[in-house]
Structure 1
């Protein structure tokens, strides 16, 4: 989570800012996309639309309307399939206009870019900022020379429209061959009662719903490349994090599911690294020299310890440490 974010005064008087001010929802969503705790300095990051609604206080329809207006104003672009947003000029204001090759921030930009999930904006981002930030590795397919402001933004659909479309697809697909065209199954909010508008703490939600088993199953469906043990580890950390917040973190069941998906997206690489580090054989320390002693000195030292007439050199650990290790 970022500690701070920069908002330029130009935001209010620039051409794009004036366009955003025509729509209160667009203005709210735009400020949120710059300052929210899930964003990165690139302005290119994973952002489920339900996060926008929940954390801005807008309704889901209001959040979708504001996001669509922000796209139309040329402020950002949003891809529903990957749930990734790109705020076009955010990197310029959050990082710098231009960096020198020796600046450590160049490595930070490249690292953040390399860790992003696959999305249709990767190539365009590189084309826009590679020279300014001395980037060296380009991701994504090669695109045309269309400028970001000209890039289309697909109309955003409401949750009800998505559910209707999913039902139509299910009716039209009577065979398993249809399922092969949809590698990422849609979020099944119906399992967590979207009509249940009551807000629960994470512990209350666990008591109300079979949260752990279902969340791990749904997480596996959406992130099929992740190992089961990594999902279990991440769910444990997810629960511990929000349990510590207590009643300060209360959400509807559907929002808890969205938060879980966002948690996986943000922590999957770290979980994999921790698992792999546990299986890396540790280099054994070499005690063959016994410090700086020669073999004869070690033998003499052991003889002194074993001499029955000498004062005891080794004491029981309980005598030394008390009952701490008993």
Structure 2
């Protein structure tokens, strides 16, 4: 547990302004910034049950508040791995940029290395790799290798070397498993086709209207909105969801 966390008064004119009129979301956001589970990089394991207990809120209320925080672009939550990323926390709690010899480079690297390699942690690594000089951290060699290869939003950490050897013996087991779309909020995705993502919209409302216009199924609307606003929604995502919706209607 950190003994000290800096939350500047300006947060009310910046981050909290996006959550005005939604006390559940404001409470959840302050919990993300100051809870006993947090750390200086703003990326850590988070069980929603703990949030609900700490706030004295029903689990549904905590979940709703967290979803709203993510919709406002302040955080991302990976539901499968139960990891949260408070987007700009590393900047406010560490620094906007570190020198290569700063002791905090290794401190950041060690915190990130405790987490599994998955879309949300790779997104953090990609964002701070250069400004925090994380490329040179030995404990993040696997992150650097993973960041160089396109992947399809896995729902679990990358396979161990032992499992990779087993799959080399059995080519039939070499296909990646794709995670379901409900696994995370706003996680970054890299397209195998190398296509460009849709441009983020200026507001949540504009984004929702755009998604309706391109035919995103209602069941995938929130996930699509998260990806769109993060610049991580690809046309192939939308096509896949449309085919899925058609198949579900046919099965019914």
2:125 is paired with a residue whose SS is helix
Residue of structure 1 in register with 2:80 after alignment: 81
Post-superposition CA distance 1:63-96 (Å, at most 9, x none)? 0110011011111011111011111101111111
Mapped to 2, the partners of 1:151 and 1:94 lie a distance apart of: 25
3-state SS of paired residue (1:51): helix
Measure how far apart 1:29 and its partner are: 0.2
CA contact (8 A) 1:48 1:83 kept: yes
Q: What is the CA–CA distance in structure 2 between the aligned matches of 1:78 and 1:69, rounded to whole Å?
A: 11
Task: Answer yes or no: is the 8 Å Cα contact 1:98–1:133 preserved in 2.
Answer: yes
Aligned to 2:34: 35
| Structure-1 separation of matches of 2:53 and 2:127 | 32
1:90 and 2:94 are equivalent in the alignment = no
Listed as ranges, the gaps of 5+ residues in structure 1 are 154-326
Which structure has the higher relative contact order (CA within 8 Å, separation 6+)? 2
Q: Match of 1:160?
A: none
Could you say which residue in structure 2 is the equivalent of 1:99? 98
The total of aligned residue pairs comes to: 152
Q: Is residue 230 of structure 2 the alignment partner of residue 150 of structure 1?
A: yes
In the TM superposition, what are the counterparts of 1:1-326 in structure 2 within 5 Å? 1-14=1-14, 16-136=15-135, 137=140, 139=143, 140=146, 142=150, 143-144=189-190, 150=230
Give the distance between the partners of 1:42 and 1:57, measured in 2 at CA: 26
Deviation at 1:35, TM superposition (A): 0.4
Instruction: Assess if the C-alpha contact under 8 Å between 1:78 and 1:85 holds in 2.
Output: yes
- Give yes or no for contact 1:84–1:119 (8 Å, CA) kept in 2: no
Which residue matches 2:193?
none
Q: Deviations over 1:17-46 (max 9, x none)?
A: 211123100000000001011111111110
Separation in structure 2 between the aligned mates of residue 152 and residue 100 of structure 1, nearest angstrom: 30
Seen in structure 2, the aligned counterparts of structure 1 residues 34 and 11 have a Cα distance that, compared at 3 Å, is: same
The CA distance in 2 between the partners of 1:44 and 1:37, in whole Å, is 13
Find the counterpart in structure 1 of residue 241 from structure 2.
none
Determine which structure has more spread, i.e. the larger CA radius of gyration.
1
RMSD: 2.3
Whole-Å Cα distance in 1 between the matches of residues 26 and 99 of structure 2?
34
* TM-score, normalization by structure 1: 0.43
SS at match of 2:44: strand
Distance 1:118 1:135 in 2: 15
